[in-house]
Chain A
Amino acid sequence: MRGQSMEKKNFSTVGKTTRRKDGVSKVTGREIFSSDVVLPHMLYARVLRSPYPHARVVSISTAKAEAMGAVCITPADVPKLRYNERQVSIPEKTYRDRTVLPDTARHVGEGIAAVAAKTEALAEKALVQIAVKYERLSAVFDPFEAMTADAPTLYKDVLLGEVVLPINRNIACHREVSEGDAEKGFQEADLIVENEFRTGRVYHQQMETKAVVCRPEPDGGITVWPTAQSIHNVRQLLGRIFKIPLSKINVHRVPIGGSFGSSIQMNTCIAICVALALKARKPVKLVLTREEDMYDHCKYPSIIRLKYGVKRDGTIVAGEMKTVVDIGAHNIQAYPLLGCMSGWFVSLYRMPHLRFEGTAVYTNKVPACAMQGYGNPQVSFAVESLMDIIAEKLNMDPIEIRLKNYVGLGETFWGQGPTVRSVIRSCGVEEMLLKGKDMIGWESRKKPEEKRGRLRRGIGVARSFHTSGTGAPMPGEVIDYSTAMVKFNEDGSVDCLTALMCHGGGTLEALAKIVSEETGVPLSKVEISPADTRSTGYDVCTHATRGVYCGGASAQRAAKEAKSKLLQFASRILEVNPDALKIRPDEELGQGIVYLEGAKGKAITVGEVAKTAQIKSWGTAISVVSHRQVNCPPCFVTNFIEVEVDTETGQIRFVKAVAAVDAGTVINPDLAAGQLEGGLCRGMGLALLEDTEYDPKSGELTCGRNITDYKIFTSVEMPMTDDVLTFFAATYEPSGPLGAKGIGEAANNCTAGAFANAVYNALGIRFNELPITPEKVLTRLKEYSLRKRGK
């Protein structure tokens, strides 16, 4: 079973499997990614990166490289503006700690100089000729050590908005949230359960390494083809750093080869490339190697201390979460991350009394940034593990305790931390738990102590959710709106123009379907236009699972308004009140048909209307809408995972999965099912395999900076197709475009928790630290059998 929904809705194209519009160009290799862009007279860039985790750059000599014909930039050649590459928070909540090229390297791999030359090979040779004198500084890699008084400090101060903020003990930021009276709550509890959970610094390993091409223009402006999730934020930040009017900066939307969140911020290589291009006065292309990309970003790791107080009947009365996040060398978005982590914690299960405390700490490691789930897989792993522990202590079924406490319909949900709250108006939690339970065979699930033999199977459940965007009734700390233009062409086809980005999951495909549904024009005649910053209105970013819910809503509104103009024109032709007219798609004609219900002869194709309006100079049926969603409804997700543990080798085999999502109306069922499956695969990586470790002496990645030794799971480790079951809860989100919510990040949010619970069910051993490698499993099994023998 793949991606079925219980309810059939009356849509013409939404919810139906259709051929992807960008499918042919992608599978035939004709799609142009940033790394494919080639311009006349273009130079190729390479970046010189620090071999040390912490070092001051004393001097740089570029003479030899320049003698080879290379254009070089050093910290002395670039603007000194301190910036934050992420532009999604409001300015006064944005922490700014970096420059285009710093005079102090704070992690191995930090770029400190760059060259551009006629070929990449020449650039590579020139790079080696740059002589750098470093003064090595002591480095710190452990977040707790970093917070001690005598630890080396990464920053004296940073900027918070425009204000200078001193940094003490490497603490980048700190957040506390509380509601009710946690002390009192814990006193009222019959049982208090507490545990510590850890997750790793997973590398995004998006297919395409970050890349950019920049062309300086004769008028002093620049044109940029970047790897980016928001072209407008790239444009604004470049304008600020290089003091170029935005009207002279054009950033093109280029298809992206996967992201997992790695390009939410303006990638730092973009600013380096722009600086080179401006100095060279020629177009410059910079494509990161895989090893540079690995030293560029990773997932936020987490150390979470979690405590719940519960009544004997399983009702949660109090909760407390304390987290320390090792953010690495730059604070990209730790402040909103901590807020979001509190929100994920608060919105999973109802707690009258709660407390949250989060601390983000600088270390001399690769800077962490958002990655699918933005703290949610980490929080959900901890919460869902602890839920199972509590259920066992209370002798309750894990599903029962979840049904009893989950935050659902009519309740308040924190979509983006404490300042972004909205009321839940659609909820498929119960449906997913109950139906999933039957599909996985929950009733036949045995307790760990009943299991014997070398190969032991276990079934685990976990649930989670993600926000759909960051909209709210009031403006919060996060910017969120989208802009879309919809216009009817003179042959009855439709153009939709938006700066919204698609990461490969089909976001723009969904927009085309929404516009088709809203205008009544067949999907084959609705196209998404190429976009750049000069011709589009602002769109914040494709992040926070907001593409369909927020971007789709703006396209829907633009479609509605353009359609109303078209119907005005049609009413003049048909001599009917425009409010009485409707449009339906005619697939055979490839046209929308404007018609008056019940009146024969009162019908005309959209093409005829648009053409008539043009000939008679009435105008074009066109509309541009900037739209903010005033909600951010949760898309709930549930995973049931079955594993088989080899107790002799410690290897864990993924046997079966049921993955369900409550995404409201599902626009693209095949792509949504694919997202669930991808989420399982990557969630399994977080659970069982992925982490980056550092050599404490050199500060280098121990995985040898390459994917040879940074492994991710692929289809090989997934269960057979018949054993990956996906389904969609039958819900309709009243605030969403045609009832839709998000799905993207939710897909992997509960997977690690479900794996940990499945492994527990197989072995009776609880793993609180991810990844659960075969080595760890064997060690724990050995301890476990020694302990049992000791008894």
Chain B
Amino acid sequence: MIAVNTRILRTEFKYFVPKTLREALKLIDQNGPNARVIAGGTDLLVQMKQEGISPDCLINIMTIPEMNFIKTEKGSLRIGATTKWSEILEFCSRDRKHAALYEAVRSLGKVQVRHMGTIGGNLCSASPAADSAPALLVYNSQVKLVSARGERTLPLDKYFKGVNETVRAAKELMTEIRIPSIQNGMGSAFKKLTRVGTDISKISCAVAILRKGKVCVSCQVAMGAVAPVPMKMRGAQELMNGKKVEASLVEEMGQRISAEIKPITDIRSTAEYRRQVAVVLFKDVFWKAWKRAGGEE
């Protein structure tokens, strides 16, 4: 692997710049399995330089206006797949309803990456450590996949399959992410642990809570970088749903999460460390979301 060269791309490829979604879908359909869609390129270009991925054709979808939008519709939020992190960050900081998403996006890369990378790209790359995934999961978000033959919308929860693997077919294009409306009494938070300020997660956690007084009506928890896919913590969630919130119960949830996750040892951290800090990371995020749900923060 010493032959890797991040200065220049060794491979040659065809390059298309479609202007409409229809045109893009046609190009995807026409080109073989070795064609790749490129949005911000913050993952794909790195893979092409470092991991020997050599597509014979790149289809740039950043020039399609109908894929770049943020809209609210009856309380729910629709985000076009090629919307950049910097645009989402700006929206969230004004809208202030999606604290977990805001915190996840803010933790993602630094200015340069946020001005290039897109939400759809993050979900299509499907890294277990994708920062937006846990936040989107706790909102029960959905993704819309479109191909020349039709379209489907499915819960994000059912979308991830494995490390860099999803249920998206090769000829499908992700066009949109939908976040259901945020109810009154709902609060969310996101936090990740990293080696340095600008870094991929060692472990990440998002929590969204629907609160009524001292009772947790429902609680959504998702963890990142602790399994082949960003995952919902269903077992732990059930412990809390409809219960009066007490420290001991939150602790129990944390322990349950620590047991449920399947972390590995890699360059960023160890399986043991991830399992150990999962408890405290969850608790920190839970209490933050809890306070927000109660309007205490």
Contact = CB atoms under 8 A, between A and B. Distances in A.
Contact of B2 (A50, A121, A703): A50
Given A125-B10, A703-B267, A774-B273, A295 B2 contact: yes
Contacts of A289: 4-7
B280 interface: yes
A649 B6 contact: no
Interface string A695-720: 00000101111101101111011000
B66 interface: no
B269 A775 contact: yes
B1 interface: yes
A287 interface: yes
9 contacts: A49-B2, A290-B6, A291-B5, A649-B193, A650-B273, A706-B4, A711-B195, A774-B193, A774-B277
Contacts of A121: 8, 10
Contacts of A50: 2
Contacts of A713: 196
Nearest to B274: A775
Contacts of B280: 648-649
Interface size class for chain B? Answer: 20 to 34
A651 interface: yes
Interface string A631-674: 00000000000000000111100000000000000000000000
A709 B267 contact: yes
A286 to B, nearest CB: 12
B270 interface: yes
Interface of A: 46, 49-51, 108-109, 120-121, 124-125, 127-128, 287, 289-291, 295, 648-651, 689, 700, 702-706, 708-709, 711-714, 716-717, 774-775, 778-779
Interface of B: 1-8, 10, 46, 50, 193, 195-199, 267-270, 272-273, 276-277, 280-281
A128 B8 CA distance: 14
Nearest to A781: B276
A289 B277 CA distance: 36
Given A287-B7, A709-B267, A109 B2 contact: yes
Chain B interface mostly: loop
B277 A716 contact: no
Contact of B276 (A109, A124, A127, A778): A778
Contact of B8 (A49, A108, A120, A295): A120
B6 A706 contact: yes
A778 B195 contact: no
Chain A interface mostly: loop
Contacts of B46: 708
Contacts of A689: 195-196
Given A649-B277, A716-B197, A775-B270, A128 B7 contact: no
A364 to B, nearest CB: 14
Given A648-B277, A775-B270, A291 B4 contact: yes
Nearest to A120: B8
Contacts of B5: 46, 124, 289, 291
Report, nearest first, the 6 A-B pairs whose CB atoms are least far apart: A716-B197, A648-B280, A775-B273, A711-B196, A709-B267, A49-B2
Contacts of B198: 714, 716
Nearest to B283: A648
A125 B7 CA distance: 13
A46 B269 CA distance: 34
Contacts of A291: 2, 4-6
Given A120-B8, A121-B8, A128 B3 contact: yes
Contacts of A127: 3
B6 A51 contact: no
Given A291-B6, A711-B199, 11 more contacts: A49-B2, A51-B1, A128-B3, A289-B5, A295-B2, A649-B193, A689-B195, A706-B50, A708-B46, A711-B196, A713-B196
Contacts of B273: 650, 774-775, 778
Contacts of A125: 10
A716 B110 CA distance: 11
Contact of B268 (A124, A705, A709, A778): A709
A704 to B, nearest CB: 7
B1 A705 contact: yes
Nearest to B4: A291
A702 B268 CA distance: 11
A712 B195 CA distance: 9
B276 to A, nearest CB: 6
Contact of B50 (A704, A712, A778): A704
A454 to B, nearest CB: 8
Nearest to B265: A775
B94 to A, nearest CB: 25
Contacts of B269: 775
A120 B7 contact: yes
A785 to B, nearest CB: 13
A704 B268 CA distance: 11
Nearest to A454: B280
A689 B269 CA distance: 12
Contacts of A702: 267
A291 B199 CA distance: 19
A704 B267 contact: yes
A702 B7 CA distance: 20
B277 A778 contact: yes
A329 to B, nearest CB: 14
Contact of A716 (B196, B276, B281): B196
Contact of A51 (B3, B8, B281): B3
B167 to A, nearest CB: 28
Contacts of A124: 5, 8, 10
Nearest to A48: B3
A124 B46 CA distance: 17
Interface centre among B6, B198, B281 (most CB of A within 10 A): B6
A300 B281 CA distance: 36
B89 to A, nearest CB: 17
A51 B3 CA distance: 8
Contacts of B2: 49-51, 108-109, 291, 295, 700, 705
Nearest to A51: B2
A717 B118 CA distance: 26
A295 B46 CA distance: 19
A778 B280 CA distance: 12
Contacts of B4: 289, 291, 705-706
Contacts of B1: 51, 700, 705
A374 B193 CA distance: 33
A287 B5 CA distance: 11
Nearest to A46: B5
B196 to A, nearest CB: 5
Nearest to A709: B267
A769 to B, nearest CB: 16
A574 to B, nearest CB: 61
A354 B155 CA distance: 71
Interface centre among B50, B267, B269, B280 (most CB of A within 10 A): B267
A321 to B, nearest CB: 32
Nearest to B10: A124
Contacts of B7: 120, 287, 289
